[in-house]
Structure 1
Amino acid sequence: MGTSPPILRPHSRASAADRVKRVSDPDFYAVLGVSPDAEPQAIRAAYRRAARQHHPDRGGSAEKFHQVQSAWEVLGSPESRAEYDRGRRHPGSAASAETPVPAGEGAGFTYSRSAQPRGTRTRTSQRQARRSPSADKPVAYEPPLSSPEPLNLTLTSQKVHGGFPAKGLFGGRSQRRQQRTAELLEKHVLSALPAARLFNSVSLAPAANPGKGRRRSGKAAAVDHVLVCGPILLLVSALEVPGGTASWDGASLRTSGKSLPLPDLAASARQLRTSLTQQLQQEHGAAPAVETDWQHVLLAADGDLFHPVVEPQGAGRSGPVPLAAGRAIGHLVNVLAASERANLVERRLMAALRSRLAAPEDS
């Protein structure tokens, strides 16, 4: 029987000096029991041994297991390991201030871009790891709130938009998964970013005859969740995974001897970006520059936000690695918070997304 999931709290905004102090103990090399000059193969072997030894299902502590995972996420990637080593040699450097806090029980989510798992490649991976100063500025609105168009004040202030339409007799499980994911995003992402908004069940194409309160056809291509903050649209899908571990080769997720299909969020992101740009140009004569990213979120059946543990495999990995919910949340917050306009609410973009909701009356 698995252990109860740890209680997680949103990551508090600490000063750079405080973060450096927190990450200095424990040392990631010490966590894995290897020397700082260990070869990559030795680090991988040490990680596997430590993960087996400290896994909660084998009697280990959740805190130690999460420290092992955090150590691997940094030391397992040549780029993040090099950044971490620079921070160890120069504790006052920016790199050390951005090193991820070990995610122990009660430690909260880690919002460091340097904590990307091995193989993570996204459209936003080259952004600065640190949180943009704009994310903590007062929320700005475009067009200003003095204009009643294109969205009234109530809807502009609303952080969650759209529900999940019924999908027949066998749609209950899918709806529960969508609702569970939406609640996690609202609790941990929207609370961290005042300008962020969440849209659920969003069609990739505009409706031919959009009408107030009208539900869209279930056959229309759609994405479960779209996070918006400033100029960034972040597509999210969720999948319930039965096993405690999984592997990812860039194309398929395997767990418990099965291959689980994942939607092509990269293609969906391209389609949504193109169609939204066209819609906004038609409606307003201009469209804001929009960036897109995407993330697959994995949900454990027992509610543990740090399961399953995913290990990327193969040389041809591409795209973001699917992540357990607790780790995916940190990635999502970082992507949105890294924008230079992370405090912006783009009301025209919000209105366009609302016109594509499968169940707008549930908002």
Structure 2
Amino acid sequence: MASERSTVAEKSLTHYQVLGLARTATEREIKIAYRKAARIAHPDRGGDAAHFRRVTEAYEVLSDAQRRKNYDHSYGARGQTRRTPTAAPGRGFRGYGGGDPRAAHRDGATGFSTRRMPKERHTAADPAVYFPAYETLAPGENPVLPRRTAAQPVHGAPRRRGVFGAASRLEREARSAQLMMQQVLTAIPAARLVNGLAAPYNRGYLDHVLVSGYRIAVIGSMLVPDGAFRWDGSVLLHGSKVVAPPQLIPAARELQELFPECNVTAWVCVHSATGNLFEPVIDYARGTEPDGSNALNVANAARFVREVKGFLAAGPTPNVVDLHILDRLLGGMY
């Protein structure tokens, strides 16, 4: 059993963890780390052949600028083990990440640990706690992320894409980012906002991701006129006009598989052209209210803030900043 756990832990490591590197490692640091790891892992020196192959693969990817960029934008997909969905109850994409993530946390570069975090209940308003804790680092050991980076509540910025409609996109993305900074991050110290990410496997673009504890909210936005709308679960209806929301479900599902320890849910924040947080007025078909239980939730700005805060705060450890999760998300930024 110990051997099995070791194999699973090894497969769960990213290429950076295999070489003991931070994501910001330079080309020189990658070469030095590879030589050191290869000497230890080489079968001729008594090392494990499977581990040596992992070391070699990690070096081949990270030493090539384009392959490294693609790897980062895939959120370390090739370094992660995709787990089979469980029957544990959860919200968002049910069957994934429904269990208590405190039962099996990553333990630095050693993969998964069977240690459990304390069982006392924490609230989203509690001060942020970092995992792995910086205080537990061994002398000379590099942290997953520099503390200054991990403590930063906002990362990245809306990305200018194309020519046509760029101004409108930047406006709504800036509105969404400002809304989350003012009304979500101030209420949840552990929440981190990441702007301008590649969709998993380079399939498109994500405006924003909010992460707190082991809950991830994938955020898109729309800019519409004031008035009465109806959400039927797939499109917004404004009189005879049909407005389709951003296609977030495929990317959110892929992120759910890449981060099986998390609960991943998608939201579209519908902004009013006048800036009124309570406009537009949206009537919801039965079962489509944006309460975090749907694969995709659509809401005006005021309700969006309320629902997203509730979703993030409802996790078992909403005050935790998991450095491994944040590190991988930061790798997905453009």
| The two structures share one fold, judged by TM-score above 0.5 | yes
Equivalent AA in structure 2 for residue 135 of structure 1: A
Aligned to 1:145: 134
Equivalent AA in structure 2 for residue 242 of structure 1: P
Spell out the pairing of 1:24-173 with structure 2 (5 A cutoff): 122-123=92-93, 133-146=122-135, 147=137, 148-170=142-164, 171-173=166-168
Alpha-carbon distance in structure 2 between the residues aligned to 1:337 and 1:181: 19
Tell me the CA shift for residue 122 of structure 1. 4.0
Match among 226, 239, 242 for residue 243 of structure 1: 226
Match among 214, 217, 228 for residue 234 of structure 1: 217
Match among 262, 284, 304 for residue 312 of structure 1: 284
Equivalent AA in structure 2 for residue 234 of structure 1: A
Q: Residue 136 of structure 1: SS of its match in structure 2?
A: coil
Cα offsets for 1:243-285 (capped at 9, x unmatched): 32100111111125311111232322111122356xxxxxxxx
**What are the ranges of 5 or more consecutive residues in structure 1 without an aligned counterpart?**
1-120, 208-219, 278-288, 359-363
Q: 1:181 and 2:176 equivalent?
A: yes
Tell me the CA shift for residue 315 of structure 1. 7.6
Equivalent AA in structure 2 for residue 153 of structure 1: R
Equivalent AA in structure 2 for residue 295 of structure 1: W
What is the aligned residue count? Answer: 210
Spell out the pairing of 1:189-200 with structure 2 (5 A cutoff): 189-200=184-195
Cα offsets for 1:192-245 (capped at 9, x unmatched): 0000000112222267xxxxxxxxxxxx42221110000111111110111321
Match among 275, 280, 293 for residue 303 of structure 1: 275
Q: Residue 184 of structure 2: SS of its match in structure 1?
A: helix
Alpha-carbon distance in structure 2 between the residues aligned to 1:275 and 1:122: 15
Spell out the pairing of 1:266-305 with structure 2 (5 A cutoff): 266-276=249-259, 289-305=261-277
Tell me the CA shift for residue 164 of structure 1. 2.0
Contact 1:204–1:222, Cα closer than 8 Å, also in 2: yes
Q: Residue 133 of structure 2: SS of its match in structure 1?
A: coil
Match among 297, 306, 313 for residue 337 of structure 1: 313
Equivalent AA in structure 2 for residue 136 of structure 1: A
Q: Residue 297 of structure 1: SS of its match in structure 2?
A: strand
Q: Residue 216 of structure 2: SS of its match in structure 1?
A: strand
Alpha-carbon distance in structure 1 between the residues aligned to 2:209 and 2:229: 25
Q: Residue 229 of structure 2: SS of its match in structure 1?
A: strand
Contact 1:162–1:357, Cα closer than 8 Å, also in 2: yes
TM-score, normalised by the number of residues in structure 1: 0.53
Counting aligned pairs with the same residue, the percent is 28
Alpha-carbon distance in structure 1 between the residues aligned to 2:225 and 2:325: 37
TM-score, normalised by the number of residues in structure 2: 0.58
Alpha-carbon distance in structure 1 between the residues aligned to 2:197 and 2:306: 23
Query: RMSD in angstroms over aligned alpha carbons?
Result: 2.5
